[in-house]
Amino acid sequence: MRFIIPRRTSLTCSYHAEGILDGVGGISKRMLLYLAGIGPAVNSLLVRRDASRDITAEMNPYIGWRLTAAQSLTATLVALSIITILTSWRNGFLNRNRGVLLVGGLLFFAGPIISAALDAFSSSWQELLTAPLVLAAFCLGRPLPLKRTISDVRRIARIYAWGSLLSIIVAPDWAFEQLTSAAHLGIYRDYLGLGVGRLIGFTTHPNLLGPVAAISLALEVHPLFRLRGWVFHALAAGAVLLLTQSRTAWICLIALLYFQRVHARQRHGIPKFALFMSCVSLLAAALLMDNKTQMLLAGPMIDGEIGTLNGRTLAWNYAMAELRQNPLTGYGPTLFSIDYRMEVMRDPSLFWVGQAHNQALQTLGAYGIIGFIGLISFLSVMLVHSKRLSRETGGLLLALQVMILIRCLTESPMERLGGLSCNLMLLALNWALLLSAQEHRPPGDEASLSSAPATSGTDGSARRMSAAACRAPVSHAPA
């Protein structure tokens, strides 16, 4: 006996099945955003952080059940990424802009994967697939509204700000950088003179908490979809930023506020951008000289710490040495790992060097020319997209991209993306905002924006109207 299903019934079932998959994809993508954002904070609670912390603790940051919990969080992140991709890739969300961002990201991640596959000392190149899966999930997943995404990113940043302040009250010895271990490794800094060191809070390093606090402060003061009570959250983020004593993060905050204020008014061009980046570079070099102004004026190369930019030039030399030996693929992802420092560097006074403290040199030394081409491609794609979408976000996206470029001068913010790390978290939040802003743009607005001439005095009213359009009215919902 044959059963014949009417065509209308089959189409209805297919429609409902696609709707269910679409809903699952949207939920999983938002869960992915929160897990990528909050996961590093949870990991910071699992990492060993005691008074006797030294290089042995860095070799084994997780012990027993802590290791299982950290691995479970990373596995959940990968699973959510795969679910989002499988439930969304057939729905046609991948447009031209998303495709360009995805291709640029895959070019960047190809360098580390190829170098890891050729590196005999690499434990597992599969770990490097975490970040590409997260990016693919964001690009292929259901678009999230810009208002919701900004609200979610604000909530995630507030967790780090308020959680870090709470940790000062609950466990001050845990919240601040251990003075004994920092002084032993020669990296002790206490610019505020409080005698407690720098605030680590819900991260694993002050230079990671600093950028998070800078982003949180910039998001709170930005008028786009701002909620009531933002002043208190801004004060909390500012306090955390100050206590981290991260000079790079302080420079990033200046850049964030500058581009939000100036570029949102369409008065910023390429010459001013180059001038700004040059000034930031000089300011970063000055701040990295450890406040020895008199030595700087008398003879900057006399003092050893000034001449090496707090030891950064030592790391640069090792990265360039590895590039000369392996110009195409570099040393591999284990550059500046514990084993590398113990076997190649061998000097206990240099065991604090966990990275090249410059993204370009880190990529060249670890992944060679192939990785460097991918790095430049990905950074260029994100910068161009954020420039085109600066009007929709009041300069917020461009400010975030400039912050990444500034961090690339003194840190390696696009390194160590193999698990739930703060670097991956900051990139994931940036990707989510970038993709949501692309969907927020009205149809056909991209062509008009790219072909429109520079605004001048006659169209000042239109410029003010566009600036007002990107500012939503203040909601009276509780913060």
pLDDT of 47-98, one tens digit each? 866 544 455 555 567 777 888 888 899 999 999 999 999 888 777 778 888 9
Q: What is the pLDDT of residue 461?
A: 40
C-alpha distances out from residue 389 to 18, 261, 266, 433, 470, Å: 31, 15, 12, 10, 11
Q: What is the pLDDT of residue 11?
A: 43
* Gap between the terminal Cα atoms of the chain: 62
Q: What is the pLDDT of residue 52?
A: 42
* Mean pLDDT computed over every residue of the chain: 76
Segment 157-166, tens digit of pLDDT: 999 999 999 9
Q: Which of 280-289, 387-396, 423-432 has the highest mean pLDDT?
A: 423-432
With left for phi above 0 and alpha for psi between -120 and 50, is residue 310 left, alpha or beta?
A: left
Residue type, 177: E
pLDDT band at 311 (very low <50, low <70, confident <90, very high): low
| Angle in degrees, CA 341, 346, 348, rounded to 5 | 85
pLDDT band at 239 (very low <50, low <70, confident <90, very high): very high
Taking a C-beta distance cutoff of 8 angstroms, is the pair 393, 470 a contact?
A: yes
